[in-house]
Structure 1
Amino acid sequence: MGFSIKELETISGIKAHTIRIWEQRYHFLKPSRTATNIRTYSNDELKTLLTVALLNRYGYKISRIDEMPPEKRREAIMGINSPEAAGEFLVNELIGCMVDLRSLDFELILNSHIREHGLEKTITSLIFQFLEKVGILWQTDRINPAQEHIVSNIIRQKIICGIEYLPMPFRTGPEFLLFLPEGEFHEMGLLFVYYLLKKRGLPVVYLGANVPLKDLGYVVEIKQPQFIYLHLTTAPSNTRFERLLQQLGQYNAQSLISGFVASRAYSPIPNVRFLQSLPEVVQTIETL
């Protein structure tokens, strides 16, 4: 399955108009055409564009980049003295591993970064940048499900291992109840919140994904948590989302919602709060 020019624009940050101009003037992109004459780009062309875009952002002229063989482009990136460039290079490497199904290389990059920087920084500075770049394509089903499942499970395993190696909570409260509602199966964001809470010694009841509201109500009634937390990656229907908010509003607990939906919503319910960015999530947990 090839990529459209709009999808290349989404992942690379290079406008479709600019990509077309580069195709006309230079040689590093050679898209194929569908029967209806629509451009389609291969995995290799996606990886090439990510490399070219990074070099261009750090001062390399397109004409010079076009003359470089692939190994020279890589060497040039490695020679850029910028933490931001190094981070973007690693994100691009993860994307390349994903589209080529190189799961071992994907895991080795994460392992190396975790050893050097720790799990929390790897998630906040590397994994979330990666997810932001490819997340829109996941929402529109343009990434092959096999590609998504492989990398999602690797990331999920890293977070679960990080949670497992943390000491048991030493504080008596406040207690958090973490869950995802019915139809939501992407646990990575919620697992990361679990990691942050446990690292700070806070007790957590973790229900996981696809939890019916009646089951949530049963646990809330017995456990009486001070906080309920959910991280929404996919957008539920308006009716289902309103029903969810209404039920959360009936509890004495403060409900915190982060993720894709939170960045585009507001809550008229006093005890439901949307956290619209990763820094806001971390800051909120730090203040507890």
Structure 2
Amino acid sequence: MNSIKNTFSIKDLENLSGIKAHTIRIWEKRYNVLEPMRTDTNIRFYDLNALQKLLNITLLHDYGYKISKISKMESEKIPELVKQIVSEKSAKNHAISSFKLSMMNFDQNLFFKTYNTLLSEKSFREVFFNVFIPLMEEIGFLWQANTITPAHEHFISYLIKLKLLVNTETIQSKEPTQTDRLFVLFLPMNEIHELGLMYLNYEILSSGYKTIYLGESVPIDSLKDLKKYFENIVYVCYTTVEPEKSEVNNYVNLIKEQILDDTSELWLIGRMTEYVDQKNISNKVSIFNSITQLVDNI
């Protein structure tokens, strides 16, 4: 069975390009930039070529090209102009579009080609902050809007994880230069959204600290074992969907009661931290609103 999603509704195009469906229809009718296909019941749909063309048109439009001018260009001229603009200005939007196309078509070769092009001009840190973080934010929205399936999300997340692991391995082989603290990184039980935590591991290692990376779905009891071997521990917990908002304060209190002591502290980051009561924040419990904020505090 072919698992590639190769047809799209106009709502899918809106979600993937950021161009409103109403505007897409106007562009079709007035400028003939896209030619939708029709089902037997006269519902319009689009193929991957149409998606790619719209993403290219969107980039040109963002850089000031009028849609009336774009519509008069020959089809092969549009991607050539996109490449020229990318080389002269910024690769960010083009890269995000390419990664989305890679995801939609399960095309790992396009992912690696796009990544390698970025890395020839930027550091891995710049690629992650400027491209991968905005990309994953968009993917979260696309998943919620049913434009992509969990398979798409897992596919692109896995490829990003590969790059994180390669870059982390490079610095993990070096001896730590900072010995005043040890960082333990983990996700709560049933939490599987690991990319942010993996990147924090990379940043902490880059700062010269030793880390113990426990990964996803870690029971609190597993944290107790580390107290037998180490002091001055900073526990870093990334919470995206777990624990649920009704349980997050109980979870923080359990860690405070069972894990934290005079030599340790808890750093919390992620979407669910907005539900942590202020009374649970202290000199031992810190909340960070972004990866950048946490990295600056290392």
Q: TM-score range by the shorter chain?
A: 0.7 to 0.9
> 1:62 — aligned with what?
67
Comparing 142-151 and 77-86, the one that deviates more? 77-86
Moved more, 87-96 or 270-279: 270-279
1:259 maps to 2:270: yes
Q: CA deviation at 1:39?
A: 5.5
Distance 1:29 1:213, change over 3 A: farther
Q: What's the counterpart of residue 253 of structure 2? A: 246
> How does 1:208-223 map onto structure 2 within 5 Å?
208-220=215-227, 223=230
Task: Determine if the alignment matches structure 1 residue 162 to structure 2 residue 178.
Answer: no
Amino acid at match of 2:105: D
Alignment of 1:30-49 (within 5 A): 30-31=35-36, 40-49=45-54
CA distance in 2 between partners of 1:219 and 1:38 (Å): 59
List per-residue Cα deviations over 1:46-97 (Å, max 9, x = no partner).
3322211111111111122123344311122223278764221111111111
Deviations, residues 226-272 of structure 1 (Å, cap 9, x unaligned): 3221223436422332332222343243322333444x555421243
- Aligned residue for 1:117? 122
The CA distance in 1 between the partners of 2:137 and 2:89, in whole Å, is: 16
Distance verdict in 2 for CA 1:12–1:67, change over 3 Å: same
Q: Name the SS for the 2:201 alignment partner.
A: helix
Q: What is the DSSP-based 3-state SS (H/G/I as helix, E as strand, rest coil) of the residue aligned with 2:156?
A: helix
Q: Is the contact between residue 9 and residue 15 of structure 1 (CA under 8 Å) also seen in structure 2?
A: yes
Distance (Å, rounded) in 2 between the aligned partners of 1:256 and 1:196: 15
1:93-242 superposed matches below 5 A: 93-139=98-144, 142-166=147-171, 167-220=174-227, 223-234=230-241, 236-242=243-249
Answer whether contact 2:269 2:290 (CA < 8 A) is retained: yes
Quick one: distance in 2 between partners of 1:277 and 1:187? 15
Structure with higher Rg: it is 2
Structure 1 partner of 2:281: 270
> Unaligned stretches of 5+ in structure 1?
none
Q: Is residue 23 of structure 2 the alignment partner of residue 18 of structure 1?
A: yes
Shift of 1:151: 2.0
Cα separation, 1, equivalents of 2:11 and 2:251: 34
CA distance in 2, matches of 1:181, 1:5: 38
Name the CA shift for 1:241/1:168 in 2 (closer, same or farther; >3 Å).
Answer: same
What is the SS of the residue equivalent to 2:250? helix
Q: Separation in 2 of the partners of 1:234 and 1:121?
A: 27
Structure 2 CA distance for partners of 1:70 and 1:210, relative to 1, 3 Å: farther
1:284 lines up with 2:289 in the alignment = no
- CA deviation after TM superposition for structure 1 residue 115, in Å: 4.1
What code does the residue aligned with 1:284 have?
Answer: N
* TM-score, normalised via structure 2 length: 0.82
Percentage of matched positions with identical amino acids:
33
The number of residues matched between the two structures is: 284
Ranges in structure 2 where 5+ consecutive residues have no aligned partner? none
Normalising by structure 1, report the TM-score.
0.84
Within 1, Cα distance between the matches of 2:83 and 2:203? 32
- One-letter amino acid matched to 1:279: T
Structure 1: distance between partners of 2:236 and 2:50: 40
1:88 is matched by which residue type in structure 2?
Answer: N
Give the 3 Å change call, closer, same or farther, for CA 220–184 of structure 1 in structure 2.
farther
CA contact (8 A) 1:5 1:41 kept: yes
